[in-house]
Structure 1
Amino acid sequence: MFDYFFAQYKGYPIHEVYLELIAIFFGLWSVWFAKKDNIWVFPTGLISTFIYAYLLWQWSLLGDSMINVYYFIMSIYGWYHWTRKKGDVDEFPISIMSSKEKFMAIVIFALTIVFVILVYLYFDKFTSWYSYVDTLLTALFFVGMWLMAKRKIENWIFWIVGDLISIPLYFAKGYTFTSFQYLVFTIIAVYGYLEWKKIFNSSQNLELRQL
């Protein structure tokens, strides 16, 4: 059983295995902080995404690597966005998407698909079905990260869909540890959605009582 799940790591440089485990640790920690609506989601996420961007580039997974570079940039933006306050109150609390943001999400999704296709064509990387799934995942996660940085509840829906696709994808690619990570991500994301929904409903009820 052990060989079935982890035999692919026999040919890996040992430092890459350690880096993957460190990235997984900080990635899980980051998602847990996100579930709790805690600002530490971003510094822990920065460490995980930086390592993954390097590893995935080494493994020639360009779409996945670009996702993590984007995560890194958006984590910096999200960190700033979440810390903005009006007095003692968060300027951008948990909220739902507006019509304008729904339109922007569609635009980001479509542009990401086009961009990743062009990158894969340029580097001649459409060599397996993985590449086509990577294109979809990149778009899902780009929108999910943008919505998380803006503190929108719907970000969890994109994470859940993307995580569910990633579990078998990474296992098929031979990255068992990362596949298990996405399984845990999926579970946390479901609870994250429920918890953010509860926080949002509580804030709405509080506002109604104050009227």
Structure 2
Amino acid sequence: MIDWLNSTALTVFGVGTTWAEVLGFVTGLLNVWLLIRQHVLNWPLGILNVLLLMVVFGTAGLYADMGLQVVYVILGLYGWWAWLYGGAGRSELVVRTTTRAEWLGLAVAGVLLTGGLWLFLDRMTGSTVPLADALTTALSLLATYGQTRKLVESWWLWIAGDLIYIPLYGYKDLWLTAILYVAFLTLCVLGLRAWRKAIG
């Protein structure tokens, strides 16, 4: 199965694109579209998406992004449960704004994650982009956590991450994934607007 996922499905900008990247593209778009609509099926589809992207990133040597996918599976399972039962009285969650204390916690976690991952990737792996890989990983984790809690500002974290991911994936010749992240950036803006309206 892994060999098939790593085989070339098509060529994008003169670079072979694997089945894992093509399927990651399709499931990623569907996942974010369902997330914008606050549909709980975004979580199981997102888990499939990150398993596919784990293969893509491992092959490309983006080790933090590959490891991030494992955490996404865990956050996906948590988000699935939280959206159904994480509200008051084990009810469904509703969209809300991020509190000042939550922002402080996210900022501290972001600095620690970025710094720790940067040192690890720079000293312990062959990563050619340790800082960018660490920063995007930290932003992605914080954004995903925010979305498990339906925090509207989590879309801003995704937007910041996408603005770094797009040139990073282009640099790594993952052109289909770079295009996917352009689409994600557009969807994030739509998601931000939709979730703001959901607050009232």
Classify the TM-score, shorter chain: 0.7 to 0.9
Where does 1:71-110 land on structure 2 (aligned, <5 Å)? Answer: 71-84=72-85, 90=92, 92-110=93-111
Match of 1:110, as an amino acid? Answer: V
1:59 alignment counterpart:
60
TM-score scaled by structure 1? 0.83
**Equivalent residues, number:** 190
Where does 1:130-145 land on structure 2 (aligned, <5 Å)? Answer: 130-145=129-144
1:34 alignment counterpart:
35
Q: CA deviation at 1:162?
A: 0.9
1:175 alignment counterpart:
174
Q: CA deviation at 1:98?
A: 1.3
Q: CA deviation at 1:176?
A: 0.7
Aligned-partner Cα distance in 2 for 1:61–1:181: 17
1:207 alignment counterpart:
none
Where does 1:125-164 land on structure 2 (aligned, <5 Å)? Answer: 125-126=126-127, 128=128, 130-164=129-163
1:88 to 1:135, Cα distance in 2 relative to 1, 3 A: closer
2:21 alignment counterpart:
20
Decide which structure has the larger Cα Rg and report it.
1
**Structure 1 spans left out of the alignment, 5+ residues:** 202-211
Match of 1:35, as an amino acid? Answer: I
Match of 1:194, as an amino acid? Answer: R
- Give the helix-richer structure, 1 or 2: 1
State which of 3, 14, 24 in structure 2 corresponds to 1:7: 14
Q: CA deviation at 1:18?
A: 0.9
2:194 alignment counterpart:
195
1:208 alignment counterpart:
none
Contact residue 112 and residue 142 of structure 1 kept, 8 A? no
Deviating 4+ runs (over 4 angstroms):
85-89
Match of 1:175, as an amino acid? Answer: L
Decide which moves more: 73-82 or 112-121: 112-121
Match of 2:105, as an amino acid? Answer: M
TM-score scaled by structure 2? 0.87
Identity in percent = 25
Aligned-partner Cα distance in 2 for 1:22–1:155: 25
Decide which moves more: 19-28 or 53-62: 53-62
1:123 to 1:8, Cα distance in 2 relative to 1, 3 A: farther
Q: Residues 58-106 of structure 1: CA distance to partner in whole angstroms, max 9, x if unpaired? A: 222112112222211111110010001567952x211011122112111
